[in-house]
Structure 1
Amino acid sequence: MDKWLIRTTLEGLIFTAKEKKCVLGDDAKEDINKIKEIYEELVMFWDLDESLIDEFEKEVEN
């Protein structure tokens, strides 16, 4: 699989989580947790560097 496509997908998930937080505030927590689960699953499935999971935390600051 094309690593560029997976990386772009991960960036899209971060963007979506940030946007939900911006628009919905505290009401977005459940949605952001679901997005994070998907993000982590993709990182693990594609055997990517697990530091990417920390990147999600830093970017979204959930």
Structure 2
Amino acid sequence: MPMDDDALPPPREPLVAADISRLSVDEIEQRIADLRAEIARLEAALEAKRASRAAANAAFKL
């Protein structure tokens, strides 16, 4: 079944190392909020991976 192009969100500009010189104050604030949310997501994933590794190390420790 073909996808309708209108159903897809427009591609977003990369958040890191993008040209921000033409952004408004509101756009910069939104970008900061997006980056903070991404950092929180990455920190949660990192903590989950560390916990998984620690559990594996404990299970296989002789």
**Above 0.5 in TM-score?**
no
Structure (1/2) with the larger helix percentage: 1
TM-score (norm 1): 0.38
Please tell me whether Structure 1 or Structure 2 has the larger radius of gyration of its CA atoms. Answer: 2
TM-score (norm 2): 0.38
Which structure is richer in relative contact order (CA contacts within 8 A, separation 6 or more)?
Answer: 1
